[in-house]
């Protein structure tokens, strides 16, 4: 496996795998962005609903029965919306966690591929240098042999 053509083939394969890994990593990161945006939007909406809930209190005022029922319905509606947002945020947080783990796995795979690529590059350079030195020695030997033949 230490032949120059084999290492050159492994180097090309390593380049291809790195490119594919980079694409997969980029796709995973791109899938993460909308989820993060949706979560931040939900946090804002939840905060606004909580503020609205605080304004919907019947503090120190006299209400008729229909007014009280309407107020209780609005409060129940707001609590239900808050509960639904909390459930959706929990689901999205789990999804984001899975996606972040996927990104982390892809980053680790990229690091592994990069280490292999560096190893193959170093090996390719060493083999190329050794091959060039062998060719140079062979030429020097041929020149010496030709010089001996001419001198004899």
**Is pLDDT at 1 greater than 60 in this prediction?**
no
Contact call for residues 52 and 151 (beta carbons, < 8 A): no
Give the separation between CA 138 and CA 151, rounded to whole angstroms. 20
Q: What is the pLDDT of residue 152?
A: 67
- Evaluate if pTM is beyond 0.85: no
Tell me what the mean pLDDT of segment 53-73 comes to. Answer: 85
CATH of domain 4-151: 1.10.287.1700
Give the other-Cβ count within 10 Å of 120's Cβ. 19
Helix (H) or strand (E) segment spanning residue 76:
helix 65-151
C-alpha span between 114 and 117 (Å, rounded): 5
Residue 59: predicted pLDDT: 74
In this structure, of 22-26, 40-44, 63-67, the range with the lowest mean pLDDT score is 63-67
Which pLDDT value is given to residue 55? 85
Domain ranges of the chain: 4-151
In this prediction, residue 9 carries a pLDDT of: 92
Residues in the chain: 152
* Closest listed residue to residue 48, CA positions, set 76, 85, 73: 85
Share of the chain above pLDDT 90, in %: 72
Question: Are 27 and 106 a contacting pair, CB within 8 Å?
Answer: no
pLDDT, one tens digit per residue, over 69-112 is 998 899 999 999 999 999 999 999 999 999 999 999 999 999 99
């Amino acid at each position: 496996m230490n032949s120059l053509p084999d290492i050159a083939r492994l180097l090309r394969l390593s380049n291809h795998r790195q490119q594919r890994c980079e694409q997969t990593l980029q796709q995973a990161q791109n899938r993460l962005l909308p989820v993060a945006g949706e979560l931040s939007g939900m946090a804002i909406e939840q905060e606004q609903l909580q503020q609205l809930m605080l304004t919907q209190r019947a503090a120190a005022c006299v209400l008729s029965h229909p007014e009280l029922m309407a107020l209780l319905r609005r409060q129940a509606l707001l609590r239900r919306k808050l509960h639904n947002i909390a459930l959706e945020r929990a689901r999205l947080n789990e999804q984001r966690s899975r996606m972040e783990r996927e990104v982390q796995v892809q980053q680790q795979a990229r690091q592994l591929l990069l280490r292999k690529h560096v190893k193959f590059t170093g090996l390719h350079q060493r083999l190329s240098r050794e091959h060039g030195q062998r060719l140079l020695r062979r030429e020097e030997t041929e020149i010496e042999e030709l010089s001996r033949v001419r001198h004899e």
